[in-house]
Structure 1
Amino acid sequence: MRSIMPEKVEVLAKAQNYTSLAKWLHWGMALLWVGAWLIGILATHWRDEFNAHHGLTFLHKALASPLLFLIVVRIAWRITHPAPVLPETMSPLMKRGALLGHLLLYGVALIGLPLSGWYWSSVADKPISVAGLFLLPPLVDPDQSLYELAKAIHTYISWLCGALVGGHVLVALTHHFVQKDEVLKGMLPRRNNP
């Protein structure tokens, strides 16, 4: 059996981690998403106490709307830079579950939820400021008869996404503390990769 030269070992070790841009996108989008989600909960469920003048609603939309653009970059980067191989200690069923979980996070939390909010704002004839820089055009014409439906869609998707993100965090922590593998460490920012 041939021995692997030290340079090749280093390259193989790097292949087990995400790239620096993938990490920045992951953690940056996570901060935006969690911040927008928490503010959205406060803005809708405690409107009288915290959002009487709709300042939280504006902030919620300004934080969430950039996700619509960042997800395009993230998907393009993922296509051109595949994720590291999952540990061999994971069963094929667990690996399929990980793939399904990531597809749901991308499709529902990072695409579906912001789109449903954009739809709700469009139906309500309310603007969406993208990080305070420019306004998104409405997706549909205003229609007050669809307001309650649009609100329900966004609200129920947001609670589903809260469960998805909570599950994602729980699985990552399980990898780290129970299975003691490198899955979480591979996404931590302190490991710099190209």
Structure 2
Amino acid sequence: MPSRSTDRFDAAIDLAARRVGDAAGALRPDGAPIAVLLDGKSGAGKTTLAALLRARWQGPVEVVALDDIYPGWDGLAAGADAARTQILEPWLSGRVARWRRWDWVRSAPGESMTTRPDASLIIEGSGVLTPASAALAPVRVWLDSPEEARRDRALARDGDAYRPYWERWAAQERWHVAEDDPRALATLVIGVP
């Protein structure tokens, strides 16, 4: 039986998906491709929200997770920059975006990936919302969630593989929040329990 906190999380993510969908729909009444950025600290619900948006999206959509781009455990800023320069900017200019997935096992660049320009683009991940990326995407979301709930979700999802890196990653997220102020850049700020 789902816990009360799981039910509240699911309801918040459902509401978030409706709000993001409505915002995107208002900006693209003709169904033209649009860029959406989903940011928030680890465990806030970005991946869950992106999956729900993908399932409900009207028309073609590409979803890119920064977890596939970050170059290792110290790569939050580098991953966000690569998402902007290698994916978002080419997509915006109507070109196929070509980028490399990060191979976490080998700790090296992995397979080559492409993102098509004729589909809407959702990029989700901690650090994605910066002043440079905000200028390129009309729908920008900051998911705000309490640390304890985020930590519980992230460790339940990734378990012992993430546990030793939680604080190391959280320090980079704190730097991102202080340096980039993604909450202020967001067009939607959504609280998630």
- Shorter-normalised TM range: under 0.3
More helix by share: 1
TM-score (norm 1): 0.25
Q: Which has the higher contact order (CA 8 A, sep 6+)?
A: 2
Task: Please identify the structure whose Cα radius of gyration is greater.
Answer: 1
TM-score w.r.t. structure 2 length? 0.25
Q: Which has the higher strand share?
A: 2
